[in-house]
Chain A
Amino acid sequence: MSDSRPALTKDSVTRRGFLKVTGAGVGGASLLTMLAARQAPAQIKGTTLRILQWSHFIPAYDTWYDAFAEDWGKKNGVKVRVDHIPHLEIPARMAAEFAAGAGHDIIYNGSSILTRLYYKNLVDLTDVADTAAKKYGGWIPSAKSLVEVEGRWYGLPIFYILAPMLYRKDLFDQNNLKAPDTWELARVAARTMKAKGHPTGIALAQCNDANLMWRSAFFSFGGTEADPSGDHPTLDSKELREFLKFAKAIFDEGMTPEVFSWDDASDNRYLASGIACWIHDAISAYRTTEDTNPDVFKNVVLGLEPQGQPGKRVSVAAPNVWMVWKFSKNQQAAKEWLAYLVDNDLEGMVQSRGYNMPYLNDRYKKPMPVIGSDPKLQILQDFPKIVAFYGYPGPSTTPIQEIVNTFVFPDMITRFCRGQSLEDAIKWGVGEYRRIYGKYKQA
């Protein structure tokens, strides 16, 4: 369905740009939203829209989102209800809704993107995506790998979450260490400072962080999970061996065995408690430290994804995608709302204190909200060029999702770090990949 609204958009963009540059804060934001509000077609008046999404790490974002949705609903005569559950539980809820043939209209996926599993039962959102692309300079390259099936988009990516390096400049300076611009420098730093009571840590447990962070390092070392088509696993390689040897080295020299018990929050606490010399984590850790340990916080600095091979940086991000069920009785309102959300994705970025990163090229014009104005966060603006998602360089296919959900990749590293031989650990990991890919080929 084509966009039948008048060309408000050009003016809105200019005004939005103006407000952004003048640094209007919350006040400007509400003006912004009013300006960007479009009058949706009459046929959605009087309907109900139910949205399911996660409990955002930044609670203020949820508060804003709920109010924002309600406002839009009021302006368009739609009753909007937003429910929040933790992102880890969303797959179960999706399965239940699908089995029931009823539930929410819009459903969200975070990290575990199940669009390909459910695409036959999701509404084709290619039109909304194309409109956004036209308006905002196109989608970043990795966006379509998340939701595209047979040329059509069955989900709308709204934002992703970056995981930069967060390091203690004071500790680095005290020890004459160079900023961790390469993984080797990071390892040296960890080794030096572990001896002084400031080790580092990257989770080697069955949690989200373990899946994300180690892959960043692996891909930066030149490794790949699958081929660009996504059909074949390409895990087994020389780069894998180099990476694993590095991982074990950095674990032995710079980390403690407690990383085997970490959950997604542990590295946040590690940094906030003042112990970690650096961590590789989303900026939720930065915000946690800001809130609970101001002394440490003033010394925390962000860094770009370290290089593995010279010049190669790949940062694995946690994607977030919105989808609309085919059984939804209000697909029109759902699409309207999603289009509106995309128009205001920068607002979401502000409300999440810089956490949510947009997928549209134009958004990256500097300075970006929040991260553009905070000198420490400015480096984040350089990430989009190096962002990748699970399955790199291929798309996030269903076998990759299963591999992610059963934590094969971090488990392989754990085995090696715990003493299994390199070849045995690789044999297990590669074997699991092959086995899981094989299952989906049969289907």
Chain B
Amino acid sequence: MTLSTSSGGPDAASARAAAVSITVRTRPRRWFRSQAARRLGFGYLLLAPAVLYVLLLVGVPFLFSIYLAMSDATVGDTNASFIGLENFRAAFESDVFYIALRNSVLFTVVAAIFKGLLGTTLAFLLLRPFWGRKVIRGLVVIPFTLPISISVLGWKWMYDSQFSVINWFLSQIGIIGRYGSADWPIWLGQPLLALSACIAVNVWRNFPFSAIVLLAGFTSVPTEILDAARVDGTSFVQRFRHVVVPMIAPILLIGLLFDTVFTLSDLGVVYLLTQGGPANATKTLPVLAYQVGIQAGALGRGAAIALFLFPLLLPLMILLLRNLKRREY
């Protein structure tokens, strides 16, 4: 019976538990009444609802989606035949797919960089108490609290090609010309601008969350360690790199992981802003999968596109999390 799966807890408790279990092992007939059995039984009982829920409502449909990805199913046809990896091969032949893949990756990476920058700097600013901190914290968190579909619509209005308040402002301070001139940016109409616009909405919505997570991380670093390091004469940067970062690494990585997964699989922002245009400049994999699989009805191909990132992300995720667990101390 291994004890290493539990973390935390002083050695004394483990020793006591070991003693108890050794005692029990000499009486096999009443194993099911033993501490271990009771514990495990209780444990499985507690786990059951969650596991069942997820297995039934996510696991089974997931297997179904794998089946779809390898069949020629359409939305209206229940008789689909197995065609192996044909859908994936077909996806590779279409250059819209590569564009979508590139956009998805670019989107996630660039957004993560900005969220990291804004989140970190904001967290630093909010770290030490000051008068009005609670109010400011409350205000800054608002983007994250608004439902996505609603806040994206607000931004769509802000990006309007005629009535954009952003453009009005920029033109007032002279950075761009007036409406109708060549340098009036059409946020959702020029490929690079459109992608930036979508990324900006994602960053706006999520940077408060990054800031809060980082703030939590920073505040969790025990002050004794920081003080000790300060006494040792380390500079701020050194302290940051060698003391703070390793301690908040777990939080950072988890936050990054969640954010990556949610951003890569997000349909709402791009769908509501540009539908993937102009000329596929903002088309991401989920949007393409939705258009091909659901709106055009080619379910098999849509599933293949949607699932494409899964085999790539899964090993990455496992690697990352295993690494994380080992770091825990």
The interface of chain A, by Cβ under 8 A from chain B, is 88, 91-92, 94-95, 98, 112, 114, 117-121, 197, 204-207, 256-263, 266, 269-270, 273, 275, 398, 401-402, 405-407, 411, 414-415, 418, 428, 432, 435, 439, 442-443
Contact = CB atoms under 8 A, between A and B. Distances in A.
A261 B186 contact: yes
Given A98-B75, A117-B76, A259-B189, A91 B294 contact: yes
Interface string B279-302: 110000000101110111111010
Interface string B87-104: 000100111100000000
Interface in B28-66: none
A120 B161 contact: no
Interface stretch (B6-14, B108-116, B269-277, B320-328): B269-277
B238 to A, nearest CB: 48
A411 B74 contact: no
A442 B274 CA distance: 32
Nearest to B184: A258
B162 interface: yes
Contact of B279 (A95, A258, A418): A418
Given A261-B278, A439-B298, 20 more contacts: A91-B294, A98-B76, A114-B75, A117-B74, A119-B76, A205-B277, A206-B274, A256-B180, A257-B190, A258-B189, A261-B159, A261-B186, A261-B194, A261-B274, A269-B162, A273-B162, A402-B292, A406-B96, A406-B291, A435-B93
25 contacts: A91-B75, A92-B295, A95-B297, A117-B76, A117-B297, A197-B180, A204-B278, A205-B189, A259-B189, A260-B186, A260-B189, A260-B190, A261-B190, A261-B194, A263-B275, A266-B161, A269-B162, A402-B297, A405-B291, A407-B275, A407-B277, A428-B95, A439-B301, A442-B72, A443-B74
B187 interface: yes
Contact of A411 (B184, B280, B295, B298): B280
A357 B282 CA distance: 35
B76 A120 contact: yes
A259 B74 CA distance: 33
A94 B77 CA distance: 12
A97 B291 CA distance: 18
Nearest to B86: A442
B186 to A, nearest CB: 4
Contacts of A263: 275
A121 B278 contact: no
B188 interface: yes
Contact of A398 (B189, B292, B297, B301): B297
B269 to A, nearest CB: 15
Interface string B143-165: 00000000000000001011000
A94 B75 CA distance: 8
Given A95-B75, A120-B77, A415-B279, A112 B180 contact: no
A91 B75 CA distance: 9
B321 to A, nearest CB: 33
A118 B75 contact: yes
B278 A205 contact: yes
Contacts of A442: 72
Given A435-B94, A439-B90, A414 B76 contact: no
A275 B163 CA distance: 13
10 smallest A-B Cβ distances: which pairs? A261-B189, A206-B277, A260-B189, A118-B76, A261-B188, A402-B296, A258-B161, A405-B296, A414-B279, A117-B76
B229 to A, nearest CB: 52
Contact of B162 (A88, A257, A258, A432): A258
Contacts of B96: 406, 432
Nearest to B90: A439
B155 to A, nearest CB: 13
A406 B186 CA distance: 22
Contacts of B276: 206, 407
A402 B298 contact: yes
Contacts of A261: 159, 161, 186-190, 194, 274, 278
B72 A443 contact: yes
A409 to B, nearest CB: 11
Nearest to B87: A439
B81 to A, nearest CB: 9
Contacts of A197: 180
A261 B192 CA distance: 12
A118 B95 CA distance: 28
Contacts of B294: 91-92, 95
B278 A114 contact: no
A270 to B, nearest CB: 7
Contacts of A121: 76
